[in-house]
């Protein structure tokens, strides 16, 4: 973390986080001042500002109050508006393709496409679809049968070191 200003004055000091690979021991003044260029405005898209910044989970693009992560190899100081728009549209496409099917009769039952393949979501619980079953052709009755006969997938609890 680098800081401009002191706590002695009434005006709050400004802080900026270090980028990956930077060390406070080897940081030059020019590199430290460069960190204060974030957050920066890349321009406008769909009549809304596109902001690029560094956050707790790495660099991101912000548009219409939504956050879109940048790749590990992308520098937030070098990202152009065109690349930011590509990232926004890729994420939107991914979100659209996530939902395979929603049933009108019971909207709590959804067939979704996840990281490990298609699954059924029902009342905040997830159920594996049996191998060989085509998720597009499953009916509401098929989904309810799977829900009754299988246990919901367990949420993994991650223990953090202190």
For the stretch 140-160, pLDDT in tens is 998 899 888 888 877 666 677
Q: How confident is the model at residue 87 (pLDDT cuts 50, 70, 90)?
A: very high
Domain boundaries, the chain: 2-95, 99-149
Evaluate whether 88 touches 68 at the Cβ level (below 8 Å).
Answer: yes
Burial label for 45, CB within 10 Å (0-12, 13-18, 19+), is middle
Say if CB 108 and CB 123 are below 8 A apart. yes
pLDDT tens digits, 22-41: 888 888 888 888 888 888 89
Residues 136 and 97: beta-carbon distance below 8 Å: no
Encode pLDDT of 47-86 as tens digits.
999 999 888 888 899 999 999 999 878 888 888 999 999 9
Residue 81 main-chain phi, psi, to 5 deg: -60, -40
- DSSP bridge partners of 147: none
- From the list 30, 32, 39, the residue with the least C-alpha distance to 18 is 32
Q: For tokens 């200003």, what's the residue? A: 5
Mean pLDDT value of segment 110-129: 89
């Amino acid at each position: 973390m680098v800081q401009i200003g002191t706590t002695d004055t009434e005006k709050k000091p400004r802080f900026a986080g270090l980028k990956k690979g930077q060390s406070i021991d080897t940081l030059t003044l020019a590199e430290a001042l460069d960190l204060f260029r974030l957050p920066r405005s890349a321009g406008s898209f769909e009549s809304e500002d596109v902001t690029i910044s560094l956050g707790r989970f790495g660099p991101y693009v912000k548009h219409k109050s939504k956050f879109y992560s940048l790749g590990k190899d992308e520098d937030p100081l070098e990202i152009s508006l065109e690349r930011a728009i590509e990232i926004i549209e890729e994420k939107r496409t991914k979100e659209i393709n996530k939902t395979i099917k929603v049933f009108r009769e019971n909207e709590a039952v959804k067939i979704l496409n996840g990281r490990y393949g298609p699954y059924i979501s029902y009342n905040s619980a997830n159920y594996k679809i049996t191998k060989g079953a085509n998720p597009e052709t499953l009916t509401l009755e098929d989904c309810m049968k799977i829900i009754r006969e299988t246990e919901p997938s367990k949420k993994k609890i991650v223990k953090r070191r202190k």
